[in-house]
Amino acid sequence: MKKLERKDFLMLGGGAVAGGLAGYVFSGAPFLGLQWLVEWTQDQHVPAGGAENYLKAVCGACRTSCDMSIRMIGDRAVKIETSNSGCPFSQNALQLLYHPERLDSPLKRTGRKGTAKASAFEPVSWDKAITDIAKRMNKMIGEKKGNLIAGISKNDNLAGALLNRLVKASGSANAYYEPSLNTLAQAALGGYVDYDFANADFILSFGARLLEGWGTPCSMNRNFVAWKKKGAKLVQADAVRTRTASIADTWLAIKPGTEIVLALGIANCLAKKGRAAGGADWMAIVGQYTPEKAAAITGLKAKQIEEVADAFARAGNPVAVAGRGGSGVSSSSAEFLAVQALNAMVGSRAAALKKSQGLGEPALSANAAASIKDAKKTVGLDDFIKNGNFEMLFVNEADPAYKSVYGADLVKKMESAFVVAFMPLLNDTALYADYIFPSLSFLEEASAAGDAPLKPYMKAVHAGDAIITLAKKVDDLKGAFPWNGYVDLVKTYGAAAGAGAPNFNARTLGDHLASLENTLKASGDFPLSLVPIELTFVGDGDGLAFPYVLKTIDDKTYSQGKLWVQINRKTADEQGVSEGERIDIESSRGEIGSVRAHLTDTVAPDTIAIPLGFGHRACTRYAREKGVNPKEIMANDIDPLTGAANWWLTRVKIS
């Protein structure tokens, strides 16, 4: 046997190391380790151990009131399932409940406005903060300046109604909701439309992206399944082949912004069958929009319009749907009227007008009554931001600084005003708030359906309770708030009654059509149309605050720090734009930062479709500084009935 030398030891060691490594690799251990690494990077919260338990509750996210099962591990909810598995609200509700940036106590601004840095705020007790605000309100109302108090709410819900009451009882008319499907319809028609989709058999949608966040998404998904089962027809008119358009039975690919003309063209066909709505002057305008004229404006064929009108008239229970968009809705009051007129012409049983009973008008104190006499009247939120004034502003979960086309004007006014915000997460508007109060998610709220499934997070309180507590500390408001808390009202609030027939005002229609004619006209300066699109979960902005939502964004919507817009392929060729190229979009209002172009055949010619919901300045680290906010350059003509800007169609150019 030859003696082992140093070289032999090296070979033995090398073989052993190589063998060990090979065994380790073939066992799959390194790949397991890599998968762990991938999971670790997902920043997924791992709950502390505890007993598994399932809470039964009724979902209060919408009026559908689905049964809800909440899986608990110890005290922490880890998963929600509802009887409607297609509902994104409840499925993602824990994203808000345990959001890493959820506000956990009232904050008072100590730094300059316009920043979300923690150093700009200090935590403050509820009592101290409410007392300070009450003192300021007492002073303003005592000086008969209550008309300079304003309130903006996101939703037409109980907290919104209580804020409206607070503002009105102070002697101000400046109580507004952010424009939404219901608030726009109420302003235009005198009531919101209570659609009975479950029993409709022909659904004619004028740009309402029914399956992309429109209305109540969970019930819309359920309706869609029911439509397919029973063979109901969905006809979608839209300038973009959105998800709704692509799964509709018929997609009417119209030119952007011409939905109202299509409605009038269909009405014209119905009139020839002896159907009518509104007065003679209304029908006279309808008479002008023959299928041929409507076809020339919308880009459809006259025969298509006639066929749709015929099918609509022959259906057992047809319904026409207004409210272009998904979460963010923008339709003129004239368009709401024209579409509702179609329902009236065919006697639809699926589009009843209803009016919420609300809390009624508060009795005014002498100071408040004197104040409201001097109040400046504005019609809706955008009109108020543009033309109104305020010294004190309450913001209830709304984000008008981001969502309104007049956001920049509001920011300027908020810089010199006293602003109080109620919200669970700090949004773009709260960057200018002096006090921010943490409010609840629906999982922590009692509703008409039952008690709150979960306890409130940290020191968060229902905005309604905060408003009632505040009102009780203001001398002139005490009498208008006899309740001990919002729970006293949840069982009774929300009752609705019929709203009667709308006023089909021919002048409103005529004025809008004249204005639309100008907008549709291509000009050398701004030859293209800009229209919005939405990702269902991002919506018009609030959804981007949630980490899971980021995972639903495809790379042709947002990637590598850039927002993508969709441009018709032929139009892009004419404009010299290639796939992925950076472009700037400019309207008469200005320019937004560069975006990337995605060329597609699913967008109408001469049109750019731009996603809403991006370009936040705050709204958590997940949403901040991602892409651009197209509202900054979108059209800002204010509708005379809704007081909201009609931003859907904007003339632009690219460079």
End-to-end CA gap in the chain: 84
Kindly state whether residue 50 participates in binding another protein, applying the rule CB under 8 A: yes
Q: How far is the CB of 47 from another protein (least distance, A)?
A: 5
* Stretch of residues binding another protein (CB under 8 A), selected from 85-93, 213-221, 517-525, 624-632: 85-93
CB-nearer residue toward another protein: 22 or 363 = 22
The minimum distance between CB 8 and another protein, in angstroms, equals 5
Give me the sheet containing 76-82, strands edge to edge.
Answer: 52-58, 67-73, 76-82
Which residue, 78 or 352, has its beta carbon nearer to another protein? 78
Q: Residue 455, interface with another protein (CB under 8 A)?
A: no
The dihedral built from the CA positions of residue 166, 170, 171 and 177, taken in this order, carries a sign that is negative
Helix ranges, 315-393 (H):
333-346, 366-373, 381-387
Of residues 41, 42, 560, 655, which one binds another protein by CB under 8 A?
42
Please count the helices (runs of H) and the strands (runs of E) in the chain: 24, 24
Residue 479 sits in the site that holds another protein (CB under 8 A): no
Q: Which of residues 4-33 bind another protein (CB under 8 A)?
A: 8, 11-24, 26-29, 32
CA 625 to chain centre: 19
Q: How far apart are CA 146 and CA 140, in angstroms?
A: 6
Q: How far is the CB of 223 from another protein (least distance, A)?
A: 20
Q: Using CB under 8 A, which residues numbered 524 to 563 contact another protein?
A: 548, 551-552
Instruction: Label residue 16 exposed, middle or buried (CB < 10 Å: 0-12, 13-18, 19+).
Output: exposed
Q: Report if residue 279 touches another protein, rule: CB under 8 A.
A: no
Report the amino acid identity of residue 192.
Y
Residue 327 and residue 89 in contact, taking contact as beta carbons nearer than 8 Å: no
Q: Tell which one of 3, 43, 44, 590 touches another protein (CB under 8 A).
A: 44
Of 38, 118, 280, 514, which lies in the binding site for another protein, with binding defined by CB under 8 A? Answer: 38
Work out the widest C-alpha separation in the chain, in whole angstroms. Answer: 118
Q: What residues between 96 and 125 interact with another protein by CB under 8 A?
A: none
d(CA 60, CA 184): 23
CA pair distance 480, 368, nearest whole angstrom: 12
Of 180 and 557, the one with the shorter C-beta distance to another protein is: 557
41 interacts with another protein by CB under 8 A:
no
By CB under 8 A, tell whether 80 contacts another protein. Answer: yes
Please identify, using beta-carbon distances, which residue of 264 and 443 lies nearer to another protein: 443
Residue 34: Cβ-neighbour burial (10 angstroms; 0-12, 13-18, 19+): exposed
In the complex, least distance from residue 539 CB atom to another protein, rounded to whole angstroms = 15
Q: Find, among 317, 277, 273, the residue nearest to 291 by Cα.
A: 273
Q: What are phi and psi of 531, to 5 degrees?
A: -130, 155
By the rule CB under 8 A, 39 interacts with another protein: yes
Q: Among 66, 68, 84, 88, which residue interacts with another protein (rule: CB under 8 A)?
A: 88
Does 573 interact with another protein (rule: CB under 8 A)?
A: no
Positions touching another protein (CB under 8 A) are 2, 8, 11-24, 26-29, 32, 35-36, 38-39, 42, 44-47, 49-50, 52, 54, 71, 73, 77-81, 88, 91-95, 548, 551-552
